[in-house]
Structure 1
Amino acid sequence: MISEKVYYQKNIPALGNLYLRPFNTQEDSIVIHDWVGREYAKFWGMQDYSLEKVRAEYEKLQKHGQVYLGFYQQRPAFLIEVYDPQLDSLSQHYRVEAGDVGMHILLAPPQTPIAQFSWHIFRFVMEFLFDEPQIKRVVVEPDARNEKIHRLNERAGFVYQKLIQLPHKLAHLAFCTRTQFFTAIQQENSMHNSVAHESPEHQAVLHLQPVLWSKINRSLIRKAISEFAHESIINPTLMGYEGVWGVYEIVADSPDAVYQFHAQRLCLNHWFIKEDSINKLVNQEQSLLDAPQFIIEFNRQLGIDPHKLPTYIEEISNTLYGSAYKHTKLGVSSDALVDADFQTIESAMMEGHPAFVANNGRVGFDGKDYFNFAPECAKKFKPVWLAVHTKKAHFACSEELDFNRLMLSELGEVQINEFRQQLINRNLKPEEYLFMPAHPWQWFNKLVTIFSADIAQQYLLFLGYAEDEYVAQQSIRTLYNVSHPERHYVKMSLSILNMGFMRGLSPYYMGGTPGINDWVGKLLAKDSYLQRNGFYMLRELASVGYRNPYYENLPVKETPYKKMLSALWRESPITIIKPKQRLMTMAALLHVDSEGVALLPKIIGASGLTTSAWLHRYLTAYLSPLIHCFYEHDLVFMPHGENLILVMENHVPVHAIIKDIAEEIAIMNEHLVLPEMVQRVQIAVPEEMKVLSIFIDVFDGFFRYLNQILVEHMDFPEQHFWKLVAQCIYTYQDQHPALEEKFKRYDFFMPEFAHSCLNRLQLVNNQQMISDLMEQADSLQFAGNLPNPIAQFKRLSSVNSATNEILSEA
């Protein structure tokens, strides 16, 4: 807590002198009683208090905390309350740490407007608090409805972690460390004036600073070398050793440019590169690291079509732009994320797809679009709502739903009636139209021009915006409802180029999506193993697809122009979790913050479990149901980090939730008799390629990176990790002896497996990686075989003894 002071004062250049003195309960309560009774102070919660009750409240508060009255121009201007969270009900909602202090601030009634007055006061109070060396972190719990204080908190560096229910309000729990606050102030000071602070032009480039630019270029080159070497696109030469590190060299297309670095070779031909060891020589002289230049220098080895190279360079540049912002974004430290809520973690992810080098291309967004719609910016926005004529649009839904019920749950009766009235006012029949959301970017950049004929002919009408606000998810075209989290996710066409695809949605695919989800949902629901495990699929319950005849009748089969206006609604995971459970994107297990601190060790540490025990729980929740679906149902998913949500209890994974179903599942049994609507996901796959759905999508696509986190940040031997993976599979197989023939046919302990490569796909065609979604296997790019990291455990004689051995070694 703060030591006793007579006053604290400071001269603010843009304002004048501010000072504090301890609160005098008898005299100052008269002033505060006037303040708290006014409408602007409704969030203070004392509007109906008498003067005596106000006095009593502050006498009580001063027994365990401190209260100060702040003055500006010799008049009372603000009040601050300082308290120990350990003695407050707040302690029931988070683990109080030494150096934590709680703070409330109330401004005097506004009189003569003064530019940035609230901000100057807020900054003054934070500087006052951190003037005390023992204070390490300020904790606040503002009313969830108080948007003004949220803006001040975020500007000062506070990190919003989760919503909490306090006795008198629904509140956000937020934290600000000394470092976060002074980083925020440093960023403020880099802006020349308040106009620059508000300027989109300035905001668009604020994070592009020389030192940081050098850092993120080094980081992206590290990833490029690692992934391109993993896929055998480039082949580093071993020059020697320095301790446990191999010293390697790669030579560009022109031998004048040479890159040297230290690396360890991990399982699955994974290159764990020591980032600060990367050195570039041009004509034997040291040169700056530049990621776009690296691509140009190695283009012949990468095999990029010269006509597609400019677009790939643009994607690399855009990836760097986003990375720079993520590194300057306040409050995304791994420590802060341990107890953070679902959406705070979602927007804090730094890396994007772990395999793709150009993984945040987003070609089509400008600087303002980035800050409005990129998931890491976490800006709330509203979708555009459209009316689409049933002659050109089709609605599909699950068996238990219909269009009216969906609209009622998503929009409410008042908004529906307002939209219907708009149609009536135009002499149109509401029953001939469907309502659908569209991404604002899509509306302004594509629909108003490309669909102008349909707009002119009133097949497509702009209705406006509804009340609910959303934030973009990692998949960028999927939005999460922050106004009503229990309502559905909305996924919409977004015609930007990102990671090898234009991110549209096919109206034909959307037409069959709810039916496929119904069928798969029933399959999983009646599976007793999956029910015991808790594995859950977020169903895509409804969709609207709109067809533009100009493009539908073109001879070309696949074109982004056929996928410009569709939407689907997916269940919210909020509705299926229990009290004291939390949600977390599985991508968070690979998260490393801007200071190089990994999140996974922090989570495991908070759980109280050993690393081996925690990983065992994780593998049971994630890998076991995937193995079961493969063997029992010939059903495979696309289970990468962004597509999985982990249900956490006490920082331990207890269940896994899979999403993104209709476009990313497959039933690999062409002999199975399926309903017509499901046959789209039934594919013929060569027998030897079926196991790749686990080997490539899980082992190579996620475990390879998880293994490096364990090695690099936890000193956890990779042999221990892969033993745990082997044990998980053997445990499942021992529980299902009836599937023994399949275990032999599809052997997850085979010595090696074909290496299907993602970057090779993107480098071949960075604008359409898969030419035909119905025949994806034809587009795959291979690079020899990868040694199977669990093949060495094939002869484990006893699952139980293996388990004991692993746990005892960890």
Structure 2
Amino acid sequence: MRFTLEPLVPDATTVRLLHAWVTHPRSVYWQMGGAGVDEVAREYERISESAHHHAWLGRVDGEPTFLAETYDPARSELADLDEVRPGDLGMHLLVAPPGGTPRPGLTRAVFGAVLRHCFADTRVRRVVVEPDVGNEAVLRLNARAGFTRVRDVDLGHKTAALSFLAREHHVLRDPVPHLGPGHLERAQRRLVAKAVSELCHERLLHPEPDHAAGPGRWLLRAPSAATYAFAARRLPLEHWAVDAATLTRTVDGAPAPLDVQELVVEHAEALGLRAELVGVYLEELAATLAWTCWQEAHPGPGVEQLLTATHGEVEAAMTEGHPGFVANRGRIGFGPLDHERYSPDAAAPVRLVWLGARRACTHLALADDLHEDQLYDAALGADRDLLHARLRARGLDPDDYLLLPVHPWQWERRVAVTFAPDLARHDLVWLGEGTREHQALQSIRTFADREDPARPHVKTALAIQNMGFVRGLSPDYMRPTPAISDWVAGVVAGDPELGRCRFTVLREVGALGYTGDVYHAAAPGTPQRRMLAALWRESPLLRLAPGERVVTMASVLHRDPAGASYVAALVRASGLDPRAWLRAFLDAYLRPVVHCLLAHDLAFMPHGENVLVVLEGQAPTRCIMKDLGEEVALLDAERPLPEGLERVRAVVGHDERCLAVLTDVVDGVLRHLAAIWDDDGLLPVADFWSEAAACLERHAADHPELAEAVAAYDLQREEFAHSCLNRLQLRDARQMVDLADQASSLLYAGSLRNPLHRGEGAG
């Protein structure tokens, strides 16, 4: 069960729900049995306006399930009691009366979640409860939780059993209950299967046929005494479709458990791991295993449920991470509680921390059609006035400051110490949390507004190590981002072919970075210069018409906990023939990406979170591209660029230019999708690639004016350079590539036969 607590907003829907709970006969000790809806509304409006009493709506797996209240005992009816001390926090709890099949253990689990919520505030030393002495069930629950019943107190309306639970006596749950043998075994099987598949694809591991076991069976022998046996099919692009259920490992001939870290250690020399970096990569694998175990313990919805899910719900259900990287969920720096608070998997509500950043020390860049007030009105709403009031309360003029959003983890772990002098001299001013709740997207440091998803998404700096990078944001690098977005959006909007494809982009409309620190003055290249910046991006909901919904490209590769593929469910629900669905998908995705390259020498990073697929009737109709400022590249030395945008130019050789499609789309996305279609019986793999080739050929036939570019890029060439992702991470998991010159950092393993090539034996 997944528990979340959110500040209770007493709107009409919530009040009706609460009324049903508090007036139920099972809630007799809540003493509101005869209350009307209006009385309940007034009570919780009073609480919402109080600075010392707070109400929380609790959800279990997303469903409203309990009501909690916390309060300051020194400002309550307990104020005059000698036992009340500073650091005490009062607590009330009501679990919703059962409306269906009872859930054994629910109340105890909820009680534990509320106590964890209380003690998450490090200022709280004791939790105080004062249940009615007649409420035997709650008295037993308190006792099991470790509360000490001090004495009975006459409060007039009840005789209360005054009880305290000290922080040091709080019996914490196992902080990592997901790390058990069963979850680990399944996570290891998933990770070992992926490692074998991708490391064989990159020609780092070399299985041999197991002739004794029969066709399609393979043996992978380590230099040590370990041997792996498995079934796999070899598909085009040297894709190894490994059957995870068949994987076995023996050491010295005896059965041994699957272990992805041991697999890496056993093949360290073949993988090119330098001795001083073995531990770094193994830690990324350990963290990936940890969060994979968490997913095993918190299985998400089935693919049929996702057919009607919102964009946020689909985001939270994604479990695969990057399809090519093995160590793809490092998140090193996050502890278990951080994961539950801030990860996209947990989908917990997050309130961003806001800083006032002195305007003279800060740079704000905006889209051409936007000014500062419009950005903050769209991003903050009424919170802007609240934050300005907090500045005034400290004797500061809001006109002297810009409002900078900060990830709560970043504030607690880095900013509050690393920028202590800046805070002390009020170049930075802590303004606390905003009232708006956000949800982390799969890119982990980008947030959508939960209450109004049409508001801009906000991307924050987050100094955790994840998949070969520390996820910082450089103010200097972000500065031209809105102008880059405007330029790309103009190119896309002005192209008739892209208009026919209805291909659009999401602009990054605002970039804010603090540069008044000593690191910017005297420490070039240091990570501290990437710790205080933010980026606002248009919400995809602004691009949707009635009847449309949007999912990420990552979801098209998703399988649910039962192994069912989301794309197969979409095809079935659309009513289209699989081939027709695939053609629509390729025309929405492959065709515009190829056109941008051929017509404009414009390359995106078109995979995963960067591409949004628009669905209508469960069929793809078009795509939306995002992450322009960091990922877009102009692959031509002569095409003009607006002043100040030269950083997007990436002049590479002809054989590398084609990789913007052949590596990033064909090998990076379509290779995995083709395997799913073949595995699930949607379309044989040869037919899949034939449709992809036909998509390119239709585009070429429609655009004879691009014949020279078609020949120059030669996307249907017989072979292309095999650019390898895991080799980059294995080389140095701390920093895979130089972001300023990514092309020079790439690693290759010969060439791959191109499945788009129409020659004999293609694929």
State the shift of 1:664 in Å.
0.3
Alignment of 1:201-212 (within 5 A): 202=173, 204-212=175-183
**Contact 1:156 1:185 (8 Å CA) reproduced:** no
Question: 1:250 matched to which residue of 2?
Answer: 220
1:750 alignment partner, one of 685, 699, 717: 717
Unaligned runs of 5+ in 2: 1-10, 32-54, 67-99, 118-171
1:702-721 Cα distance to aligned partner (Å, 9 max, x none): 01110111111225210000
Counterpart Cα distance in 1 of 2:503 and 2:552: 15
Partner secondary structure for residue 307 of structure 1: helix
Partner secondary structure for residue 564 of structure 2: coil
Partner secondary structure for residue 593 of structure 1: coil
Question: 2:754 matched to which residue of 1?
Answer: 788
1:655 alignment partner, one of 613, 618, 622: 622
**Contact 1:197 1:203 (8 Å CA) reproduced:** no
Counterpart Cα distance in 1 of 2:400 and 2:336: 39
**Contact 1:253 1:299 (8 Å CA) reproduced:** no
Partner secondary structure for residue 543 of structure 1: strand
State the shift of 1:277 in Å.
1.4
Counterpart Cα distance in 2 of 1:549 and 1:351: 38
State the shift of 1:548 in Å.
5.2
Question: 2:338 matched to which residue of 1?
Answer: 369
1:435-469 Cα distance to aligned partner (Å, 9 max, x none): 11010000010101111111111101111122211
The one-letter code of the counterpart of 1:423 is L
1:409-441 Cα distance to aligned partner (Å, 9 max, x none): 2223x4333322333343333222111101000
State the shift of 1:652 in Å.
0.2
Q: Do structure 1's residue 641 and structure 2's residue 632 form an aligned pair?
A: no
Question: 2:90 matched to which residue of 1?
Answer: none
1:321-342 Cα distance to aligned partner (Å, 9 max, x none): 1112222324421222122111
Q: Percent of pairs identical after alignment?
A: 36
Counterpart Cα distance in 2 of 1:539 and 1:691: 25
Question: 2:24 matched to which residue of 1?
Answer: 107
Unaligned runs of 5+ in 1: 1-37, 48-77, 80-104, 115-145, 158-180, 797-810
**Contact 2:468 2:729 (8 Å CA) reproduced:** yes
Distance 1:793 1:582, change over 3 A: farther
The one-letter code of the counterpart of 2:528 is Y
The one-letter code of the counterpart of 2:176 is V
1:268 alignment partner, one of 229, 237, 261: 237
Q: Do structure 1's residue 407 and structure 2's residue 324 form an aligned pair?
A: no
Question: 1:562 matched to which residue of 2?
Answer: 529
Distance 1:150 1:199, change over 3 A: closer
**Contact 2:186 2:296 (8 Å CA) reproduced:** no
Partner secondary structure for residue 676 of structure 1: coil
Counterpart Cα distance in 2 of 1:358 and 1:451: 31
Counterpart Cα distance in 2 of 1:39 and 1:250: 62
Q: Do structure 1's residue 230 and structure 2's residue 198 form an aligned pair?
A: no
State the shift of 1:404 in Å.
1.8
Distance 1:39 1:704, change over 3 A: closer
Distance 1:214 1:750, change over 3 A: same
Counterpart Cα distance in 2 of 1:204 and 1:789: 48
The one-letter code of the counterpart of 1:401 is L
Partner secondary structure for residue 419 of structure 1: helix
The one-letter code of the counterpart of 1:712 is D
Counterpart Cα distance in 2 of 1:185 and 1:108: 19
Q: Do structure 1's residue 766 and structure 2's residue 733 form an aligned pair?
A: yes
Comparing 260-269 and 415-424, the one that deviates more: 415-424
Distance 1:242 1:748, change over 3 A: farther
State the shift of 1:42 in Å.
4.1
Question: 1:508 matched to which residue of 2?
Answer: 476
Distance 1:258 1:546, change over 3 A: same
Comparing 500-509 and 710-719, the one that deviates more: 710-719
Question: 1:598 matched to which residue of 2?
Answer: 565
Partner secondary structure for residue 791 of structure 1: coil
The one-letter code of the counterpart of 1:422 is R
Counterpart Cα distance in 2 of 1:681 and 1:580: 36
State the shift of 1:109 in Å.
8.0
Alignment of 1:575-594 (within 5 A): 575-594=542-561
**Contact 1:723 1:793 (8 Å CA) reproduced:** no
State the shift of 1:186 in Å.
7.9
Question: 2:264 matched to which residue of 1?
Answer: 295
State the shift of 1:490 in Å.
0.1
Alignment of 1:279-294 (within 5 A): 279-294=248-263
**Contact 1:749 1:793 (8 Å CA) reproduced:** no
State the shift of 1:290 in Å.
1.4
Partner secondary structure for residue 377 of structure 1: coil
Question: 1:537 matched to which residue of 2?
Answer: 505
Question: 1:776 matched to which residue of 2?
Answer: 742
Comparing 310-319 and 196-205, the one that deviates more: 196-205
Counterpart Cα distance in 2 of 1:516 and 1:273: 41
Alignment of 1:4-15 (within 5 A): none
Alignment of 1:406-805 (within 5 A): 406-412=375-381, 414-547=382-515, 549-554=517-522, 558-714=525-681, 716-771=683-738, 773-792=739-758
Point out 4+ residue stretches in structure 1 off by more than 6 angstroms: 38-41
TM-score normalised by the chain length of structure 1: 0.75
Question: 1:382 matched to which residue of 2?
Answer: 351
Counterpart Cα distance in 1 of 2:12 and 2:585: 50
The one-letter code of the counterpart of 2:561 is S
State the shift of 1:538 in Å.
0.4
1:514-551 Cα distance to aligned partner (Å, 9 max, x none): 01111111111111111121111000000101125432
Distance 1:393 1:153, change over 3 A: closer
TM-score normalised by the chain length of structure 2: 0.80
Question: 2:192 matched to which residue of 1?
Answer: 221
State the shift of 1:39 in Å.
9.3
Partner secondary structure for residue 515 of structure 1: helix
Comparing 206-215 and 685-694, the one that deviates more: 206-215
Counterpart Cα distance in 2 of 1:614 and 1:695: 22
**Contact 2:456 2:537 (8 Å CA) reproduced:** yes
Counterpart Cα distance in 2 of 1:41 and 1:456: 42
State the shift of 1:651 in Å.
0.3
Distance 1:560 1:525, change over 3 A: same
Counterpart Cα distance in 2 of 1:441 and 1:550: 22
Counterpart Cα distance in 2 of 1:228 and 1:496: 25
State the shift of 1:613 in Å.
0.5
State the shift of 1:637 in Å.
0.2
State the shift of 1:794 in Å.
8.8
Distance 1:791 1:372, change over 3 A: same
State the shift of 1:601 in Å.
1.1
State the shift of 1:600 in Å.
1.3
The one-letter code of the counterpart of 2:425 is Q
1:196-238 Cα distance to aligned partner (Å, 9 max, x none): 7854853632222322211110110000011111101111122
Partner secondary structure for residue 220 of structure 2: strand
Partner secondary structure for residue 663 of structure 1: helix
